[in-house]
Amino acid sequence: MEEKEAFNKAAAICARQEKCISDIEKKLEQWGVENISAVIKRLVEEKYIDERRFAGFFVRDKFRFNHWGRKKIQWHLFQKQLPRDIIDDALNTINDDEYREVLYSLLASKRRQINQSDPFKVKNSLLRFAGSRGFEYDVIIKCLDSLTEDE
């Protein structure tokens, strides 16, 4: 595939949905483009790709719709090879109060599904669940404490 054709195809993809450099590099490799760096450079220059913008949307979507915690979001952004400072800036946009509210509602919902009378097993189950969602241990413990107080 020629460079111009690859650029147009990649630009169309980026116009539809936010993408990061590594996503587009993979596409260009699949298409057999020889000069990947030139296509990427032009996409960045013409603002089809902006990793800060991508990270911001990624964090917002994964937190708001998937209810992922900071650790899971951070891990996925690392997998997309974004720079650490961009990841940290994007994660800092999450409001701490909203973060705890989301975790609390997830834990309360999960608690209703657990058919266990032993409080130790219930707490362990909820802890594993929240950890798998990417929430930090200290935040999980605080939410679990307030959840048990409310029961």
Q: What is the pLDDT of residues 61-78, one digit of tens each?
A: 999 999 999 999 999 999
CA torsion through residues 80, 84, 86, 87, sign: positive
Give CA–CA dist 73/116, Å, rounded.
Answer: 30
Q: What is the pLDDT of residues 101-125, one digit of tens each?
A: 999 999 999 999 988 888 899 999 9
pTM: predicted TM-score of the whole model, two decimal places: 0.89
Architecture of domain 1-49: Orthogonal Bundle (1.10)
What residue segments make up the domains of the chain, in order of their start?
1-49, 51-94, 96-150
